[in-house]
Structure 1
Amino acid sequence: AVEVEELSESVRVIRLAEEDAIANRDFVLRWSTAGEETGYGVLAHRGDDGGFLTLMIRPPAAPADAQVMPREITFILDISGSMIGTPLAIETDLVSRSLDTLRPDDRFNIVYFSSGNAQLFDAPQPRTEENVRTARAFLRNLTGGGGTEMIAGLERALAAEHDPGRLQMYVLLTDGYVAEDREILELVRTRRGAARFFAFGIGSSVNRALIDGVGEHGGGFSQVVLPREGEEGRRRTVETLFDRIDSPVLVDVAIDWNGLPVEDPYPAKLPDLFAGQTIDLVARYTRPARGTIYVEARCGVERFRVPIEVELPEWEEANAALAPIWARWRIEDRMAEWQGATPSRRRGLEEEIVRLATEFRLVSRFTSFVAVDESRVVGDGTPLRVFQPVETPEDVSFEGAVGEVPVGSAVEVPSWGVAFQNTTARRVVVAVVRPQGEAAARGVRTGAVLTAVDGTLVHDLRHLEGLLLQSGGTVRLTFDPGGDVDLPGPGA
């Protein structure tokens, strides 16, 4: 729940209510746009950090296109361990509801993944009563567990048999708990062709960067489905999906800046626009100016070009948030280039990212907020590493996400950059993996169960410590999942 304070007719201050102060879920603020005519708005800010502007476009409600291509919709379900319980129930319910909304001439299929992947039908099937019954029975019996091999699941969906005469649509449902965000987004961007991806984040604390990125790179849209929204929220989500894909789409959207001193607009390539959405563009400007820009787009077979009067002030203290918003877009753009850059180019990009993040006070891959307490010294002053517990996201199964509930203190092996911990089932799991350590370099992952050392089964942490003391120059550890990993002996 939120508390809303009305400062004026056009200004509201929104705060999280005190009873919702536990930080175990995302704060999501939803609002709707109103009006039947196309709406445009421009805000600007110019201060010591430069000039910035945002252009907002709200499309009008429009009738459906007279000629709608038949569709082929593939639902891609994440059934990994972190989806056990409420998230899995929500995603299967969403797919079941969606089956009722398909057109008679639509075709559909279901692909699902965890540590492996599979699909319901060999090929997409028409929406017949028999096929819908088969799909619903399958969804009722679906259970979660295992890892999250999302890339393999997406590749299976993309490589499956498709009808080229139909508009291909992929609906991804996941919490996004993966480590290969950038690889997944690159796969969606380069392999989708003319298909569209619609991403639904299921849960109270989803990976928004991945969910939103799939919608952006996939030419569709993204949305988060919160467990607290209940039955009404799920109904609204399905309606939103099919209202948008049934509605005309504004495509080939472009901005003619008409000579105004505007630079580095983001997103650099404007997305297609589904009815009910908005386009929010942010850019910087180099000097004060006034003029007319033009928004160009196509809706169905109709093209239009709309003039918008713009004033770029010499000084404007309001709308200061535009500066860090633009900087965040710029950093993401630089990071995308950094991924495929040469070592020498990467150094230059890193310097630019650090400069932007420092100037606009943002967290990035190369910067973070660090508080150093210099008021006292403990011990000899050597930094002490402390494991800091955090809340498990609301409605996420700890056992499903991590494996089992850990108990007691963790034991770290510094030379490997890894810490182990007992679980309630008296097994040993990987509690922490340091990014630059030997274990990380050899693919050891948090949550994996350590089953054996040099072929000897591990019973608990004390037993593990004894086995490591007896080990030689190289130790063979067996993980589930992960298999055998060879590491230098802790004392080597």
Structure 2
Amino acid sequence: MNYPSRQRPCALAALIRPPLWLANSLATAGLLLLGLLLLNLLNSVSAMASADSPLRLNPDWPGSGTMQLFNDAGEVAPPKLTTQVDMQINGWTNRVTVTQSYTNASEQWLHGRYLFPLPENAAVDSLNMQIGERVIEGQIQPKQRAKQMFEQAKAQGKQASLLSQQRPNLFTAEVANLGPGQTIKVQFSYQQQVEYREGALSVRFPMTYTPRYVPQDYADVDDAADIMGDFSYDPAPVTAATDNGSVSINLDLRAGVPLATATSPSHPLTKLADDGDQQQFKFANMVADRDFIFSWQPANGSAPQAALFSQQGQTHPLAETGTQAAAPQDYSLLMLMPPQSKPEQPMPRDLVLVVDTSGSMSGASMQQAKEAVRFALTSLRPQDSFNVLAFSSDVSALAPQSLPATASNIGRAQQFVAQLQANGGTEMGRALDAALPSNYQVPQGVLRQVIFMTDGAVGNEKQLFNFIHQRLGDSRLFTVGIGSAPNAYFMKRAAQAGRGTFTYIGYGEDVSTKTVALLEKIAAPVVTDVQLRFADGTVPDYWPAQIPDLYLGEPVVVSIKQARGRHSSLTISGNVAGQFWQQQLTLTPELRDSGLDLLWARGQIGALELAQDDSNRDRTEQQVTALAMKYHLVSQYTSLVAVDVTPVNPNAPDTPQAEIASKMPAGWQPPGNMPQTASNSRLLLLLGALMLLLGGALCWLSRHPKQQRCVS
């Protein structure tokens, strides 16, 4: 039969006569997938809707130098912000003074609050605020008392300031009654211990903060209060804007030894002066979107050995008068160096690599973590075993149990790592549960080492520390900080609780060198069960109370307090590969320093906070408060407050406030507008839509085959 060209049947359409049941099945399956996706998204939205609660996801957690100025109408009048940091590095200590200047460009009085991260080991001990010609000095007070003093001054129109700790590495400062056109300078100082590893020394100054995730089932109300502190409003948002102020750093380095190198891997620097072992540097107008890192390396033959630094008396003498003077005390900082030998026959190891694939790891952080895992896999030896775990809202594993380190299994692991994507929440407890199974016995003669690669963007740190302590057994936990602004407080404390070490990888070029260095270090013999005692057998008052294992190229620094002149020598002992080891040190100080009492007290406070639970909460609060008051330190239970006596703002009760945002961490990508879940939401959406479209098309073809025509 001949048809007109426009009516010629299509040969392919004539052959297609799909059964109706197949079309209906595909359409139904597509609808089911889309329904599952909708339910999943509704659950995610429900979880995020409760993000205002401190027990939930806080996607807008504040970062460095966030000034909070707000009013009831929500109108924003952000001040201009600049930050000046002055570092005085002397041997093994770093004295840091931070001056943040805010200019009120509005025509009304303002109250304000700002938030900023500091190093997790910072001992904050002084505060002053300069408003015009007025300089207001801060005094240490119990936290509630300090808050009452500040609020009373605020209501009376007096200029006042308050500095408080929200987390060990997150602080808030408040200012009351800032006048129109005024510039306020808030200056605080802290003492910090210098880091040393692989022959180089370094300091780090955090300038922004990665948003944190708190599991929905985390029910420690007191710890949640620590997370949010006294905030009664939403935290300041993280933003990509670049006009929220700049940071400049002046650094005076007095290393005490000739230097081979001095540089910053994070920021460009300008050398101002070079006088042998004393150098001065300047870092100007830096964008506050990443941690500042400065490192220096002694010249060959000048690498530090076991050393002792000491100080007589306290930095802040006791304010009380008329009381009997306490016995004079000496404070010391002792550096313990491990043996420098490498193993002749390395022990077999079971290496567990744990990778954070949560939404906060999006972007450069995810790529760095993947590359670090690939380097770790190439280090495996035939006698080793291994496994790879990935976690976000759930945990996925390469295998149920550790696998032999064969070429085939390593290839499987490489493919497993290649397909990892950042998505979902940071449910680190589930990952720790998988990496540190209960009642697991490490085989005799095997080193079981767990390496966590994460940005540490979690808010339930205390819960995780307790879990590590309970589950560790004979395993060792090492943490690798990924990204431009990791939660170093969590990373270091987790490694300490896991009797391992912390490594920071902030930049792509660091991945290979730092991963290789970590793997070489943990393959070397370690000194375990380290103990300190005086010659007469008594035990000194030192922190950390449980000294971590000593690893090749990474000393442990211990803070010690003792009665002045009572002991002249100290014995360090431990086990190396099952053999007893000890070393005798003289207590005659090689170098004298200052602020060592602050480091000792900060370490003691940190140990008390780490051991706090429901059974000792009240006693711990009393002990921490007493220590912080004695040494003039900001802590969980104490704050620095400064109040001027003269009222200056007659309309203080009606004074508004506003806020500015913090800079988003460099390389960090927010999860996006679609709620991030543990499921492959994008894949579900695509498959569901395709199946629904295909089912609809087949259904139409099965009912209307004769209507298909071809156009010539």
**Fold-level similarity (TM above 0.5):** yes
Per-residue deviation, 1:94: 0.5
User: Aligned residue for 2:633?
Assistant: 362
User: Aligned residue for 1:40?
Assistant: 306
Per-residue deviation, 1:384: 4.6
Alignment of 1:350 with 2:615, yes or no, is: no
Which piece of structure 1 moves more, 160-169 or 386-395? 160-169
CA contact (8 A) 1:258 1:294 kept: yes
Taking the aligned partners of 2:292 and 2:456, their CA distance within structure 1 comes to 17
User: Aligned residue for 1:296?
Assistant: 573
Deviations 1:443-478 (A, max 9, x none): xxxxxxxxxxxxxxxxxxxxxxxxxxxxxxxxxxxx
Taking the aligned partners of 2:526 and 2:370, their CA distance within structure 1 comes to 28
Deviations 1:209-232 (A, max 9, x none): 1111121111111111112xx33x
Amino acid in structure 1 at the alignment position of 2:484: S
Deviations 1:77-135 (A, max 9, x none): 11111001100010011001111111122111111111111211122112222222222
Alignment of 1:216 with 2:481, yes or no, is: no
Query: What is the TM-score when the length of structure 2 is the normalising length?
Result: 0.51
Where does the alignment leave 5 or more consecutive residues of structure 2 unmatched? 1-266, 318-328, 677-712
Taking the aligned partners of 2:561 and 2:275, their CA distance within structure 1 comes to 29
Identify the match of residue 164 of structure 1 among 438, 443, 446. 443
Alignment of 1:198 with 2:478, yes or no, is: yes
Amino acid in structure 1 at the alignment position of 2:503: Q
1:47-446 to 2 correspondences below 5 Å: 47-48=313-314, 49=317, 50-66=329-345, 68-159=346-437, 164-165=443-444, 166-227=446-507, 230-231=508-509, 233-259=510-536, 263-289=540-566, 291-311=568-588, 318-342=592-616, 346-369=617-640, 376-377=648-649, 379-381=651-653, 384=656, 386-397=658-669, 399-400=670-671, 403-404=672-673
CA spacing shift, 1:125–1:305, aligned 2, 3 Å: closer
Percent of residue pairs identical: 26
CA contact (8 A) 2:376 2:515 kept: yes
Taking the aligned partners of 1:260 and 1:287, their CA distance within structure 2 comes to 18
Which piece of structure 1 moves more, 242-251 or 156-165? 156-165
Per-residue deviation, 1:156: 1.8
Q: Which has the higher contact order (CA 8 A, sep 6+)?
A: 2
Per-residue deviation, 1:252: 2.5
CA spacing shift, 1:59–1:376, aligned 2, 3 Å: same
The 3-state SS of whatever aligns with 2:450 is strand
Deviations 1:220-265 (A, max 9, x none): 11111112xx33x111112112111211111232222224998420
Which piece of structure 1 moves more, 266-275 or 388-397? 388-397
1:444-463 to 2 correspondences below 5 Å: none
CA spacing shift, 1:193–1:6, aligned 2, 3 Å: farther
CA contact (8 A) 1:81 1:144 kept: yes
CA spacing shift, 1:372–1:83, aligned 2, 3 Å: farther
Deviations 1:393-443 (A, max 9, x none): 22111x22xx54xxxxxxxxxxxxxxxxxxxx8x9x9xxxxxxxxxxxxxx
RMSD of aligned residue pairs (Cα, Å): 3.1
Alignment of 1:26 with 2:306, yes or no, is: no
Taking the aligned partners of 2:574 and 2:341, their CA distance within structure 1 comes to 14
The 3-state SS of whatever aligns with 2:587 is strand
Which piece of structure 1 moves more, 274-283 or 54-63? 54-63
The 3-state SS of whatever aligns with 2:390 is strand
Taking the aligned partners of 2:597 and 2:479, their CA distance within structure 1 comes to 28
CA spacing shift, 1:174–1:372, aligned 2, 3 Å: farther
How many positions carry a matched residue from both structures? 392
CA spacing shift, 1:340–1:286, aligned 2, 3 Å: farther
CA spacing shift, 1:35–1:372, aligned 2, 3 Å: same
Which piece of structure 1 moves more, 167-176 or 285-294? 285-294
Amino acid in structure 1 at the alignment position of 2:622: E
Taking the aligned partners of 1:383 and 1:327, their CA distance within structure 2 comes to 39
The 3-state SS of whatever aligns with 2:568 is strand
CA spacing shift, 1:357–1:28, aligned 2, 3 Å: farther
User: Aligned residue for 1:442?
Assistant: none
CA contact (8 A) 1:265 1:284 kept: yes
Deviations 1:48-81 (A, max 9, x none): 4542111112234203143x33211111111111
Deviations 1:132-178 (A, max 9, x none): 22222222211111111100111022239887353211110110111
CA spacing shift, 1:63–1:257, aligned 2, 3 Å: same
Amino acid in structure 2 at the alignment position of 1:281: V
Query: What is the TM-score when the length of structure 1 is the normalising length?
Result: 0.72
Amino acid in structure 1 at the alignment position of 2:512: R
The 3-state SS of whatever aligns with 1:159 is coil
Taking the aligned partners of 1:143 and 1:28, their CA distance within structure 2 comes to 28
Where does the alignment leave 5 or more consecutive residues of structure 1 unmatched? 405-424, 430-492
CA contact (8 A) 1:74 1:110 kept: yes
CA spacing shift, 1:257–1:22, aligned 2, 3 Å: farther
CA contact (8 A) 1:37 1:60 kept: no
Taking the aligned partners of 2:403 and 2:284, their CA distance within structure 1 comes to 50
The 3-state SS of whatever aligns with 1:164 is coil
CA contact (8 A) 1:44 1:51 kept: yes
The 3-state SS of whatever aligns with 1:91 is helix
CA spacing shift, 1:260–1:163, aligned 2, 3 Å: closer
Per-residue deviation, 1:378: 7.0
CA contact (8 A) 1:41 1:55 kept: yes
CA spacing shift, 1:263–1:123, aligned 2, 3 Å: closer
Deviations 1:365-408 (A, max 9, x none): 223455668764274425755434211222111x22xx54xxxx
Deviations 1:289-344 (A, max 9, x none): 4512222233235433322221379xx9x5112121111101112213332434xx
The 3-state SS of whatever aligns with 2:294 is coil
CA contact (8 A) 1:261 1:289 kept: no
Give the number of the structure whose alpha-carbon radius of gyration is greater: 2
Per-residue deviation, 1:286: 2.2
CA spacing shift, 1:60–1:7, aligned 2, 3 Å: farther
